[in-house]
Structure formats: structure tokens, C-alpha cells
Structure 1
Amino acid sequence: MTEHVKSYYAATANKQDARPPLQGSVTADVCVIGAGFTGTAAALELAERGFSVIVLEAVRVGFGASGRNGGQIVNGYSRDLDVISARYGEKAGKLIGALACEGGNIIRERVQKYGIKCDLQPGMLATALTQKQMRELEHHVKVWNSFGYDQFELLDKNGLAPHVVTDRYVGGLIDKKGGHIHPLNLVQGEAEAFESLGGKIYENSPVVSVDKDNAVVKTAQGEVKAKYVFVCGNAYMHNVLPELEWRIMPVSTQVLATEPLGDEAKRLLPSNVCVEDCNYVLDYFRRSADNRILYGGGIVYGGTDPVSIRDKILPLMLKTFPSLKDARIDYTWSGNFALTLTRFPQMGKLAPRVFFSHGDSGHGVTTTHLLGRILAEAVAGDTSRFDVFANLPYFPFPGGKTFRVPLTVIGAWYYQMRDRLGI
């Protein structure tokens, strides 16, 4: 594949022209593998610090999850801050908790600094389908308040009406520092900002090997000789560095986009916040700039696509918005994100000069920007934040590559049943 998948985002992207592939031998301070959010965020940080940087992208900038996701700016991680502190210790928990909003802040700062046109909108709403989930949201507020965060607003059922018009939810929680964006336009805008500072991106340049001892990255037609290498391919690194593959599992999630709905979209989502529910396998949705409903949900462990994305996601949307039963569906697509066993991102080194970051586990819009900055800091000489993440324990999926999918499916089924039963 040499182009983006046929998604709403690809059809409405600001930049459509492809960059040339790498040919011949070139040198740089840092070679970044992968032009998604992590790689592009890190590359831009490095360029701002005066490093020479080359980015290698197998297909197009934002081809993977970075250009296909729900576009939701959700602060924090896939595990709550108290769980992180209990698992990794109070010292690490405090530092990680203090960084929970930095990724979102980076996005807003860059949109303003570089004039990136990506339909940035404020506000994120988490919705509860049961009273148990509502109590979990109340607990979430208390935990985040203990870290000094005060941008939440709890809502009862009546309080949801200014934000989402549906009978499905019993309450919710507004995060005023959340929001949503056109993700492909964001990552493309960051890539152009990087290039404006002298950085170089080669598209359609899949990496075929990495000489970790000498920091040399080879493609079919060229090579990059660097002082450092960043591996930022996440779920789209295939058979290049097998030692990373056991750490993560690709998981696909699906999205559909309706036709432009005009006033109906505004009626259903009056305040234009993005929404995700509190189920283990959650639904997420929002309005687009041209007043479509973008609705996502469902997962397939192992990264394969369902037989019909439309048939999988449309019933979910109609549960939430029955009035859309006659709406035309203009786009359906899926994309893979990288899941870790702990549902927490991983950073580390494969060799003294080869760094990696992956496994954002469904919270990648914000955590990728945070971790991209931390990667750049490490090369610039400040490893304090990198060391905290790199020293966290990692665990492989039980069953290896053969049995990790069925075992994970069994675990997910258990939590989905708890959601349905409200326990």
C-alpha cells in the first residue's frame, strides 16, 4: 500500500501530495522510524532544539493509528492515576500523574504556534451507562483532584442535555481541558512544521533492517547513518525488530462517518464536545467540522478487520442516536493501535543509541506527544523523565504470539459481561 486508507480524514486532509522515498545514503543526528504522532512529535521537538533529523515513513505521514483514530484529546492514560501509583510506587506515580495533561497542552501549543488547521475544539465528555460507572467517575474526580487537577465537572442525567441528546446515559463527566481534532491534519501539520525547521521526511520508505550497534537504518533503496535512532512504529512495525513485537499486540478499532447532517448533528451534540462511554470496550463519537457524526467502537484483538465495519459500528450508533436510522454512511475504516499487557505505554532502549516508544493502548493522541518530547529530552542530555518510564517493569502477553489473542479475548469478554450486568 502506498496511500492512506479511504477514510473521512484522508478525504478531507489539508495535504495530499506525497513526499519522495529515500534513495542513497544520508546522515543525521537522529533517524526516526515512523511518521505517526510519536515519531513526528519527537522529530519536531528535536528540530526545535537544533538537531538534524530524518524521518522514515513506510507509507504516508499519519498512515497508521495517528491518522485514523477518533480524534479525541483525552487526558491521562489507559489506567487511572491511583492504579498507576499502586502498581509502580508513589514516587513514579506522582511524576507520571503530574504529566497527565502535558500531551494535550503540547497539541494546543503547537496548533497555535504553527497555525495548524486541524479543527481543534475544546471539551471531552465521559458518559456513564450505569450507576456503578457513575461512581467510578466520581472516584476518578477525587483521584485527579489529589493531583491538583480541577477542570472536571460531574453531570447528572439532566446535566447531559446541553452536551449529548440521548437516553442511554445516567450521567457523565466533562473534562474542560479535553477536546478533539482532525488527527490526520494535526500530524500532517506537525510534519510540515518540522520540515519548516529543516527536517526531512521520506515517505513510502519502509525500513528493512536496523543495525543497532552502529545506528544505521536501511530501506530498500537507501540508508540513514545516525548518531541515534528512535523506533516509533507502534502497531505498524512488522518483522523489523522482533524483540519489540512480544511487548505489544495490534488491536483494530473501527469508525464510520455519516453524511453531513447539518442542524441534526448540532441538535445531537449541542456543545460540540467529544464523547466516550465508560464501558471496557467503549463507544466514542463526535461532530466533524462539516457536521457529520464520526462514531467509533468495537475492537478486534490481533489487528484484523471485521467482515463488515458498517455492520459492526452502525448498530452501536443507532443505540445512541436512533434518529440517524436513515442517515447515509459515507465512510467506514479501521486502524490498529498497540496494546500492552499493562495498558500503559512503554519506553526504553534496544541499544545505547537506539530508543523506542510504543504501546499507548488507546490513549495515543495525547501520550504520544508527551513521550515524543521525553525522547527528545533524553537525546538532548536530560534523561530524568525518560528514565522513569524506561525503568517501569514490562510484561509479555501470556501465551506468546500464538495464544495472546484468545487469552485476551477471554479477559475482555469477562469485563464486557460486567459492564452489561452493571457489576
Structure 2
Amino acid sequence: MSNSNATPTTSKPSNNTRNIPHYSDKGQYPDSYYAASRNPKPDRPTLKNDIQVEICVVGGGYSGLSTALHLIETDHEVVVLEGAQIGWGASGRNGGQIVNGLNASLQKIKKSYGQENANFVGQLVTRGGKIIRRFVRDYDISCDLKEKNIFAALNNGQLKDLQETHALWESHGMHDREMLDKNGIQEHIKSDAYVGGVIDHSGGHFHPLNLALGEAAAIEQNGGTIYENTLVVDIEYADDAIKVITEFGTVTCKQAVLCGNAYLNK
């Protein structure tokens, strides 16, 4: 595995600054429980020169961090550029739930695209939780990971829906869910308000910002480089290279992976 950092080609700031409003203002975490209870993090630099690297990942949320960590684990040289701080967006302030489900049901996917594709999507749904657990284990990430979650039914109609969903997921080879009757759910939830439910043994909960910070630390421990408060304003493509242009510097790379979401400034 390579431990070399990206190679600077000049210390002179780039002239590629664009008049694009910064989505995060000063890049500080919004007030939240997660920001208030986050683990310590280093002050990472802003890119202010021109560098060369094999792969540039744009975005320091879950998608960008996971991409970078997987690439580094397979001996690639990686730089991550984040416009604010690691996990500043939804990755650092979501509910922290490992929930295996889809907005579109597997039945709907099967009807539109066939059984094989529905099976493939079903396996993708559960893969994310496995990746999270592997990162937490391999890199000793402190993010308060708790196992399992419950879908609770307040009435028989809701319970029937859960039974149908449970049977559907079972038909796709996913056997981590267990139906609970009224007595069974009371063993987990000390309330008689529910008529039953489903416990998902592959579900869970964690501190979302601390997971992101832990993945960032793992990237750096394995030789990757992360620049924070580094807003990407343009990308130029050539036959032999890609130039990712930030406010004050550039990254020339062989490949670029764009992992932005709500703050793309399109």
C-alpha cells in the first residue's frame, strides 16, 4: 500500500477562483447534537497550490469517504477534496440508522425489471450495513454502533403490511428479519401500544458524524490526503489527464470521482 502523499507541482496559488457562493458559509458544522458530541478532529488544510495525484475524490461525505478508503485499500493514491468540513452535510447530521429498505418496493422492481435485477438490488440494500461494520471493526471507529432495529405496528393493518414485506424479503433470500407478536415486541419495547412488528437483525444505529470522522482518519492513516474548505469550482478534461479546479489550487489526476449531493451548485 502506498503511503506517499500527493505531489505538489507549485506553491503558487491558482488563478482559477470563480465567483460561486459557498454553500457552507465559513464551513463550520451547523449546531446539532452530533456536532456537539463529535470526536476530536484535526484541522485539515485548504488546498492552496497545484498538485498531481492518481485519483481525486470530490466530496467528504459517506460516498466520497467510502470510495477513497476502498481505493486506498487497493493501493491507489487518493486525494479527497471537501468544500466544508468532513461530514458537514447530510452524512454528519442524519439519523444514523442502518435501515434495510427501499422507497420503491422489491416487488415493483421485479415487475419492471425482472427477478434477477430485484435480487441484485435487494443484495445492494444490505451491503451498506456490512461495509459500515467492516470499517468500524477494521479501523476501530468510535461511533456508538448499536445492533438491530424494530419496525413496530400500532394496529393489525400495519402488522399485515409488515408481514407482507417480511415474506417478500424472505423470497429474495434475506433472512435477517424476524416477525414479532404482541408479547415478542414487548420484550424489546416496554409498552403495550404495539400489536407486533419486525426486528431486523442486520439493522442498527450509530453516531453519523463520528462515523464520517473515523473513515476520514482511516484514509489518512493509510496514506491518503484530505483537504477541507476546498470548494471545487470547475473540472477540465483532456485526453491524458483531468484537472479539478478549486478556489485556490488545482488537482491534476488520472481519474476523478464526483461524490456530491445537495450542494453541487448546479
Query: Which residue does 1:70 correspond to in 2?
Result: 95
Distance in 2 between residues matched to 1:199 and 1:66, nearest whole Å: 20
Letter in 2 for 1:45: H
Which residue identity lines up with residue 77 of structure 1 in the other structure?
L
Higher RCO (CA 8 Å, separation ≥ 6 residues)? 2
What's the offset of the Cα at 1:152? 1.2
**CA RMSD after TM alignment:** 1.7
Following TM superposition, by how much is the alpha carbon of 1:180 offset from its aligned partner in structure 2, in angstroms? 0.6
Instruction: Map Cα deviations across residues 317-372 of structure 1 (whole Å, 9 max, x no partner).
Output: xxxxxxxxxxxxxxxxxxxxxxxxxxxxxxxxxxxxxxxxxxxxxxxxxxxxxxxx
Give the secondary structure class of the aligned counterpart of 2:28. Answer: coil
- Structure 1 residues 95 and 189 mapped into 2: Cα distance closer, same or farther (>3 Å)? same
TM-score (norm: length of structure 2): 0.84
Cα distance in 2 between the residues matched to 1:109 and 1:139 = 31
Matching residue within 53, 71, 94 for 1:46:
71
Name the CA distance, whole Å, in 1 between partners of 2:263 and 2:184.
41
2:255 matched residue in structure 1: 228
Greater mean deviation of Cα atoms: 7-16 or 80-89? 80-89
Q: Distance in 2 between matches of 1:16 and 1:169?
A: 42
Deviation >4 Å, runs of 4+ = none
2:130 alignment partner, SS class: helix
Structure 1 residues 9-408: aligned runs within 5 Å: 9-166=34-191, 168-213=193-238, 214-239=241-266
Shift of 1:166: 4.5
Counterpart in the other structure of 1:373:
none
Q: Secondary structure at the match of 1:101?
A: helix
Give per-residue Cα distances to partners, 1:254-301, cap 9 Å, x unaligned. Answer: xxxxxxxxxxxxxxxxxxxxxxxxxxxxxxxxxxxxxxxxxxxxxxxx
Q: What SS does structure 1 have at the residue aligned with 2:201? A: strand
Letter in 2 for 1:164: I
Q: Distance in 2 between matches of 1:228 and 1:128?
A: 48
Give ranges in structure 1 of 5+ residues lacking alignment.
240-423
Q: Counterpart of 2:257 in structure 1: which amino acid? A: F
The verdict on how the C-alpha distance between 1:167 and 1:237 changes in structure 2, with shifts beyond 3 A counting, is farther
1:380-405 per-position Cα deviation (integer Å, ceiling 9, x unaligned):
xxxxxxxxxxxxxxxxxxxxxxxxxx
Q: For 1:141-186, what per-residue CA distance to the aligned partner results, in whole angstroms no more than 9, with x for missing partners?
A: 1111112222211123333223234465432110011111111111
Report if aligned partners of 1:18, 1:60 keep a CA contact under 8 Å in 2.
Answer: no
Q: Which amino acid is 1:67 matched to? A: G
Deviation, structure 1 residue 38: 0.5
Q: SS of the residue aligned with 1:235? A: coil
Look up the SS of the partner of 2:262 in the other structure: helix
Structure 2 residue identity aligned to 1:157? K
Distance of 1:145 and 1:206 partners within structure 2: 45
Q: Find the aligned partners of 2:231 and 2:187 in 1 and give their Cα distance.
A: 47
Cα distance change of structure 1 residues 218 and 140 upon mapping to structure 2, 3 Å threshold? same
Identity %: 44
Match of 1:219, as an amino acid? T
- In terms of Rg, which structure is larger? 2
Check conservation: 2:41, 2:213, Cα contact below 8 A.
no
- Total equivalences in the alignment: 239
Query: How is 1:403-418 mapped onto 2 (pairs within 5 angstroms)?
Result: none
**Which sections of structure 2, spanning at least 5 residues, go unmatched?**
1-24
